[in-house]
Amino acid sequence: MNEKELQNIWNKFTNKFDVSQLGLDYEKFKLKMDTTDKRKRFFDKYSQSLGLGDYENFEKNISQLSPQPDQSPQLSKPSQTIDPSVFNCIKNSGGNGKNLQQTIDNPNAYSFVDKTGEEFTFWGNGDFLYIGKNNRSQGKWKCKGSNNFEVITDWGGTKYYYRSETGQWALTPNAPALEENFIKKIVTKHLRSKL
């Protein structure tokens, strides 16, 4: 089954109906949608209220990634090969890092979504993916001690740096520290001239 399409239908279904009264969760829902006959019954009952369109497109979209039992073997989910403690600096960084979760489709990647809907995905090998509302960018990440991390990514040929201490993107890796030092130098110089 097409997991993404199934998840979209589940979201529509749970937004429209109180599934707790039906004793239904996502895993049970998947079981109720695992055959063509079951999907047809669901479609006939809920297509109008959920705005699912016509049945042919519904079935095509939801079953497009389903291997046919007689045509291909069932693939098992890949096992995790990375030690999850690699991500501790992200989890310990506070802010959105505390919401870091293993991704559904890759056991070696962890991600979180911040308050603005931006998604940060981290792989154990140091790869990084940012998905914003209107853009996406790939880069690298690394721990900066046990409670902070840094991301370096490239947007349109310009390098950007993200530091968990500030929770902001900058054009230089130590932008907040440089700004603070610059201010200190100006104040010190100004004070010396007064003495």
Range of the domain at 29: 3-63
CA-to-CA dists, residue 160 to 9, 126, 147, 157, angstroms: 37, 16, 21, 10
How high is the pLDDT of residue 185?
56
Q: What is the pLDDT of residues 98-151, one digit of tens each?
A: 888 888 878 888 998 887 788 899 998 999 988 887 788 889 999 988 898 999
Q: How many structural domains comprise the chain?
A: 2
Q: What is the pLDDT of residues 136-167, one digit of tens each?
A: 888 999 998 889 899 999 877 888 888 888 88
Residue with tokens 């104040």: 187
**Higher-confidence residue: 65 or 133?**
133
Q: Does any domain span residue 121?
A: yes
3-state secondary structure of 185: helix
Indicate whether 96 and 155 sit together in one domain: yes
Indicate whether 46 and 92 sit together in one domain: no
Listed in sequence order, the residues at least 6 apart from 120 whose beta carbon sits closer than 8 Å to its beta carbon are 96, 111, 112, 113, 114, 128, 129, 130, 151
Q: Does any domain span residue 40?
A: yes
Indicate whether 104 and 156 sit together in one domain: yes
Task: Give the mean pLDDT of 39-49.
Answer: 88
Indicate whether 92 and 167 sit together in one domain: yes
Q: What is the pTM for the complete model shown?
A: 0.49
Indicate whether 91 and 172 sit together in one domain: yes
Among candidate residues 114, 110, 159, the one with its CA nearest the CA of residue 133:
114
Q: Does any domain span residue 185?
A: no
